[in-house]
Structure 1
Amino acid sequence: MIKRMKNKLFVTICVAALSLGAVVPSTFSTVHASGTKTVYVDVEKNITGQAPILQPVQVSLDDTKTVLDATETAVGASNIDAASSSYGSYVKAFKDNTASFTYAYTSQIPAICYDTTTAYNQPIVSDSNYLREKEYNGISGWMFTVNNTDHDSSYNYYTADTALSSLPDGAVIRWEFSMASGCDLGLSGYLPNGTVTGGYYNWNTSATAPFFTRTDKTALITKLATTAKPASGATGYDEYVAAENALKNLTISQTSVDDVLDDLNAVLP
């Protein structure tokens, strides 16, 4: 679970989990259920340089259901490790066998995040079957945005318990794994600067700036979720693959994303 401080209050950005074997469709994938709200869901691990755990899919549910319900429908309930806390429901892990990777921002992470001797109540875990919170360092975990923001127009923060009725129709629920409270996703975040009594992190009350400029991929994700992937060699295949590569490119520019989307729309309107 990643904690982010807003207006001097910690707000939990909830987490989800999923199975690699169930999630990389080679064609347009739609999960249907009775209901009135349609959303698009994906699960990304772009900080690893690897393809998403879940490519974008479309989910339709009754709008009394929640963000967590939509995520479970998209990935399969057996592929998600969800829990409850005083902050509400959250997801601790997505089922996945993540390959080894080189993390680009290690030098920008406080050393205490790797020091389980000083921060002895902030464990670092390892799970060969899931990509789980607190893997690789003590502050890693899953975050999500809705249409590239973590709050609505009234500044109510989204959580896994947020009802779909509070989301716009066609909203993009984008889950992303972070090892820096969102700073490595192009968001500002709160990082620890030491420990307090009991071996727990002492969290900064001032935000750390994003490590790079974030790109809005809402329209790209919607297009991938609603468009069948052509067969290799067919019209639009190369453009679709370019769009998939743009999705997993962590630091791609907005101009490049928009150009890739324009190219895909031109051949697969």
Structure 2
Amino acid sequence: MDVSREKTLREPRVSSLALQVAKYTAVGKITVRNNLAYLYDYLIRSLFLLVILYIFAQLWRVTYDGIGTATISGYTFEQLLWYLVFAEAMVLSSPRLARRIEDEVKKGDVAYQLTRPVSYLLFQYAQYMGEAYVLVPVHLLVGGALGTMMFGVPHFGWGWIGFLLISVGAFTVNFLLNMILALTSFWIEETRGLEFVYYKIVFTLGGMLLPLEMFGGTVRQIADWLPFQCVVYFPSKTAVQFDAGEIGHMLGVQAVWAAVLTVCLTLIYRKGVKKLNVNGG
């Protein structure tokens, strides 16, 4: 009797957890379907990525030729260009949460969002991940077209699997950082300036413009202690220079930062909801 009673008590918890997972998975799937309807629009808009990568390619070609060496900080010219392809794809595929939530606060739509029978934060996370994983293949396809024309079809091997694995943590950390910035709109409403500063930090200390190996001394040490490397540097490096030994370290760093940022986000959210002042009704 005791065993059956214990089993009975456990079953609702398992069902409830499964229901919650299914609920937010459904949100992600709906987001994917909605974004797939605009797939051609995304492809056209992402063509500007070719211009950016072409300029970088010419600059780095001159740099490598001028130095007269096959590698710089452990990267060949081909590896560096492919690194930039993945780095640009990760940044451009990240939805701009600050703008979306800022507009919801100004219009008053956030009041309806908060009354839904779902967690506001998990709902936003499911939407974020669904949109991100529609945009990543698009940007990789467009950016990869230039890399393929210059160097042929890449042979990353396990790098593809490593990239997919690390990208989950990368988008999660980026979501948490962006959501923390976005929730400041509950107090100050205008958050795009903060978002602008954030992405400039990601461009540098996050390793989008340059792999972190190319930074020396104090700058590299600072970058190693900040979460921004988790967003761009980790997945991009894994793709072009796969090292099974580093995967565990990268996942561990991402997990630690995800835990710390989740606690911070939860506290800010609870305080923000109490202080929320909706202008739009």
TM-score (norm. length: structure 2) = 0.29
* Structure showing the higher helix proportion among its residues: 2
Highest relative contact order (Cα 8 Å, sep 6+), 1 or 2? 2
Larger Rg over CA atoms: 2
* Structure showing the higher strand proportion among its residues: 1
TM-score (norm. length: structure 1) = 0.30
